[in-house]
Amino acid sequence: MISVEQLRRYPFFAGFSADQIERLANISEEHSVDAEHYFFYEGDEIDCFYLVVEGSISITVDIPDREHVQSLAQQLTNDLTTRDITVSNVGSGYTFGWSALIPPNISTANAKANIGSRVLQFDRVKLQKAIDDDCCFGHLLTLKAAQVVRQRLRDVRMETLVEHV
């Protein structure tokens, strides 16, 4: 568990009341991971929302590899040779795993540690209980998650433009 004072420092949590910050602190767990650790893959059901305490996390998506010839059978069965492209790098103080907050809780990307990193993990079930108990908390958390989604969409758009130039 992280202290309330530490959690309050992160911009994502600006606007939350002292009680809401305390509740978030009480349901958080800190984890250390090695470089190359995958938190989740695109299409996985996500059980946790994360905040990077220290380190760097790449948000990547799989795209068909244009350097490999894809057979018709591969195309029909969706068994394409793919490669990862990084659409965003998430550093200290930033969040990832927003799909844990939005049903059906299925990841739209991969998340991998670039270097050894420390993260705070917020369990989806505990977050849902907090949302059910305090609709104002749920509203604010949803708005904050939407801002993250907005930024990620902008990142994907920029990466797509770079790929086609």
pLDDT tens digit string along 89-146?
999 999 999 999 989 999 999 999 999 999 999 999 999 999 999 999 999 999 999 9
pLDDT of residue 25: 94
Instruction: Give, for 8, the enclosing helix (H) or strand (E).
Output: helix 4-8
Average pLDDT of the chain to the nearest whole number:
88
Tell me the mean pLDDT in the region 21-25.
94
Q: How confident is the model at residue 13 (pLDDT cuts 50, 70, 90)?
A: very high
| Identity at 132, one-letter amino acid code | D
Tell me the mean pLDDT in the region 14-43.
95
Structure tokens given for 87: 């659409």
Going from the C-alpha of 92 to that of each of 14, 53, 133, the distances in angstroms are 16, 5, 29
Domain topology for 30-163: Jelly Rolls (2.60.120)
Q: Residues 6 or more apart from 86 whose CB is under 8 A from it? A: 58, 59, 60, 159
137, 142, 147, 149: CA torsion to nearest 10: 150
Alpha carbons 123 and 131: distance in angstroms, whole number = 12
> Listing from the earlier edge strand, what are the strands of the sheet with 110-113?
38-40, 110-113, 56-64, 82-91
Q: Check whether the bond before 103 is cis (ω within 30° of 0).
A: no
pLDDT of residue 62: 78
Q: Where are the domains of the chain?
A: 30-163
